[in-house]
Amino acid sequence: MIPEAKLIKSEIVVRELSLPDDVLLARKSIIRWLALSLGLILPNESRTLLLDIFDVLLESQLKNVQPTTKDIIEKLENNSSEKQNPKAVYYHLQKLTGMGILTRKKGRYCFGDGNGERISDVFKDFYKNKTDSAFGNIEKALNRLESSHK
């Protein structure tokens, strides 16, 4: 028996969603659509903290700013005028960092390597590299099966 859980290095979800014009009318709709497309949230997700954090991170990246956890919490509190739970914010930041989608350098967060790449290129490269790696191993396993049947 193969210990499957030990073999999993990472997991990505990319959803192909239609992009109706009404989604593009509001920033919150775009953020939710992106998070759903990139597999960061589940369909019908009702909790919004991850979406709010993702929004702050995207805004920071577009402004070429690398925020700290404290900066992110302050921005969240300014946007919602609600006190944020630092542990919950940090949990989501660690989750995104653990996925590899977010990078933390010297306490500051950014998507990619923080060298001013276009945000679309950062996400495309991240997901492409993950799928290329996965399909490299899939191809190796399929080739082994194919060669064993000759």
pLDDT at 1 over 90: no
Distance CA 145, CA 127 (A): 27
pLDDT (tens digit per residue) in 52-108? 999 999 999 999 999 999 999 999 999 988 899 999 999 999 999 998 899 999 999
pLDDT score for 76: 96
Distance CA 146, CA 125 (A): 30
pLDDT score for 138: 95
pLDDT score for 2: 67
Domains and CATH numbers, the chain: 47-148 (1.10.10.10)
Amino acid at the residue 30: I
pLDDT (tens digit per residue) in 113-127? 877 788 999 999 999
What global pTM score does this model have?
Answer: 0.87
Distance CA 71, CA 100 (A): 21
Amino acid at the residue 41: I
